[in-house]
Structure 1
Amino acid sequence: MLLFAMLATTLSMRVIASDLYARRVPNRWLLGALLLGTLLLAWQAVQQGIASTVPHGAGLLLGLCSLLPFYAMRWMGAGDVKFFAVLGFLLGWQALLPVWIGASLMAGAHAVAVYSWRSLRLHLPPRLMLLQHDAAQHRALAPVLHQVQQARGGREGIPYAAYLGLTSICWAGWTLWGAAP
């Protein structure tokens, strides 16, 4: 369990950074984690028996199938779906519901904040609107923000994979250290 949690945490940290920066979840990271996880799973099967692999296989299938409809409706990207499936493989099917709930709550709060700001911005007094506009132009000129915009390549939206990664790190930590008697 510890090695799977460490692998999931390492992958999650990389995905969080990539999703926040470029709104991308690199396939090679997912594939690499899947291959390392498969090796760990084979070792676990030899040590503990084939039945110990069931939660991981079920997690992969359940993770993929549960978010696939949202991808089909264009509500999320393919990287989010694949990442959730890999997390299910690494952490087991038991982790999927808590990780999904936590990530969805954070993504929902993010969406509410964005839409509230957009709505509030329209009702600002003219002087504050001018200050906000000037601040936005100043931020747009910052080199770092320009690099982020280039890295995103026009991709917008809520960084759902980052929220999945954050909640999976919390889940791994809680199950390894927080749930101990």
Structure 2
Amino acid sequence: MSFLALLALLLSLRIAISDLYARRVPNAWLLAGACGAALGLLGAQLAGQPAAVSDHLLGAGAGLVALLPFYLVGWMGAGDVKYFAVLGLLLGLHALLPVWLGASALAGVHVLCVVGLPRLRAVLPLPLQHLQARAVQQWQQHPALVQMHHARQGRVGIPFAAYLAIATLAWVLWPAQGASS
């Protein structure tokens, strides 16, 4: 596994945890990932192992341009866009489409669950509806969930950066794809 792929794995783990827990994508981690990518690409050039620098630079630009319209219309956070650009820098242009498709599929499942579960509850027998309502009430009062909602500071939405991170982990760890990049 290359240095850049390993760096992408480590960054993705950190981003997934942060986005799932607090709906935040820390700029410091993105900057560290971008600097690590730049050092890794420079190191590969100096060591005589020419990495396709143009593929990585194009990946960064394409990652930024691809998701920027979603940020501009308010459908996505800036951290998601910046993270996708850093992924393009780390993994190259060729990795962006499979990562984006995987993340979009996960986001689609998320939406189906958010939309479908309330409708499913409505068709449950009344005793099960009451049982489910009590379970949700107890779950909402659980200290860990209360702490998580406090950490989110009112931020809501689909954790797309986390889904990008999960798709990145899968792509990098998939033996035929990411390990060789």
- The equivalent of 2:90 in structure 1 is 90
> Percentage identity across aligned positions?
48
Query: Normalised by the size of structure 1, how large is the TM-score?
Result: 0.92
- The equivalent of 2:65 in structure 1 is 65
Deviations 1:112-162 (A, max 9, x none): 111000222234333322222211111122111111110111111111111
Deviations 1:29-75 (A, max 9, x none): 00011111111111223334877210110000000000001111111
Q: Give the match's secondary structure for 2:30.
A: helix
Deviations 1:74-93 (A, max 9, x none): 11111111110000000000
Task: Give the count of matched residue pairs.
Answer: 179
Using the alignment, how far apart are the partners of 2:124 and 2:51 within structure 1? 61
Is the contact made by 1:45 and 1:52 (CA closer than 8 Å) also made in structure 2? no
Do residues 157 (structure 1) and 169 (structure 2) align? no
Using the alignment, how far apart are the partners of 1:89 and 1:121 within structure 2? 44
- The equivalent of 1:36 in structure 2 is 36
Q: Give the match's secondary structure for 1:69.
A: helix
Is the contact made by 2:44 and 2:51 (CA closer than 8 Å) also made in structure 1? no
CA separation of 1:51/1:8 partners in 2, compared to 1, >3 Å: closer, same or farther? closer
Is the contact made by 1:26 and 1:79 (CA closer than 8 Å) also made in structure 2? yes
Using the alignment, how far apart are the partners of 2:88 and 2:44 within structure 1? 16
- The equivalent of 1:172 in structure 2 is 172
Do residues 77 (structure 1) and 109 (structure 2) align? no
Do residues 128 (structure 1) and 98 (structure 2) align? no
CA separation of 1:48/1:61 partners in 2, compared to 1, >3 Å: closer, same or farther? farther
- The equivalent of 1:2 in structure 2 is 2
Using the alignment, how far apart are the partners of 1:61 and 1:49 within structure 2? 23
Q: Give the match's secondary structure for 2:96.
A: helix
Is the contact made by 1:58 and 1:92 (CA closer than 8 Å) also made in structure 2? yes
Query: Normalised by the size of structure 2, how large is the TM-score?
Result: 0.92
- The equivalent of 1:105 in structure 2 is 105
Displacement of 1:108 in angstroms is 0.3
Using the alignment, how far apart are the partners of 1:51 and 1:99 within structure 2? 20
Using the alignment, how far apart are the partners of 1:40 and 1:51 within structure 2? 9
Is the contact made by 1:11 and 1:33 (CA closer than 8 Å) also made in structure 2? yes
Using the alignment, how far apart are the partners of 1:173 and 1:138 within structure 2? 38
